[in-house]
Amino acid sequence: MLNPKEMEWLERVQEKTILFKRKVSLLVKENLEPLGITPFQLQILWLIGKDGEMGTTQLAEKLKVKPSAVTMGTNQLHKRGWLNRIHLESDRRQIRITLTAEGERLLMKAKGTHNELASELFSCFDEKELADFFCLVDKLEQNTFVK
C-alpha cells in the first residue's frame, strides 16, 4: 500500500505522462500529415529501414502489436508504393516486407521531420539535463514489467 506522499507522486507522474504523450502524439501526427503517413506507418517504415527485410509476424513482435494490425498497416503502405510484399517460394502464405525506393525516400523525409521535432522538444535541456533525462528514462524502462 502506498503512503499519501507516494500516492501524490504517482498521480503527478501519471498526469504529466498522459499530458506529455498527448502533446507529443499531436505534434508527431501534425508533422507527418503533410507526408501522408501515420505515426504507426512510420514505425513500420522505420523498423524495416533499420532491420531490413522481415515478415509480418516478426514486425508485429518488434512493434508489440497484433499481426493483423501490421497486415493492415503494411497493406496501406504497399498500396501507396512504399513497401514491397514478397511471397516466399517455399510457402506462398509467408510474406517478406521490404522498402521500395520511394519508401526509402519517404523514410528519409520523415526522419528529417522527426529529428527537427525532437530537436525542438529537447531544446529546453542543457547537455547534462539531457544526459540525466535519458538515464532516468532508461532506468524506468528497465524497471517495467512489460518486456
The confidence score (pLDDT) of residue 147 equals 52
> So what CATH class is 37-111?
mainly alpha
Q: Please name which of 94, 107, 101 lies closest in space to residue 54, comparing C-alpha atoms.
A: 94
Give the whole-angstrom CA distance, residue 28 versus residue 25. Answer: 5
Please tell me the predicted confidence (pLDDT) of residue 140.
84
CB 56 within 8 A of CB 70: yes
Burial class (CB in 10 A: 0-12, 13-18, 19+), 62: middle
Give CA–CA dist 55/122, Å, rounded.
34
Quickly state the pLDDT bin for 62 (edges 50, 70, 90): very high
The pLDDT tens digits for 1-54 are 888 998 999 899 899 999 999 999 999 999 999 999 999 999 999 999 999 999
Mean pLDDT of 99-110: 96
Rounded average pLDDT over 86-113: 90
In angstroms, rounded to a whole number, what is the distance separating the alpha carbons of residues 131 and 139? 12
Which letter does DSSP use for residue 87 in this model?
E
Q: Find the mean pLDDT for residues 103-109.
A: 96
- C-alpha 118 chain-centroid distance: 13
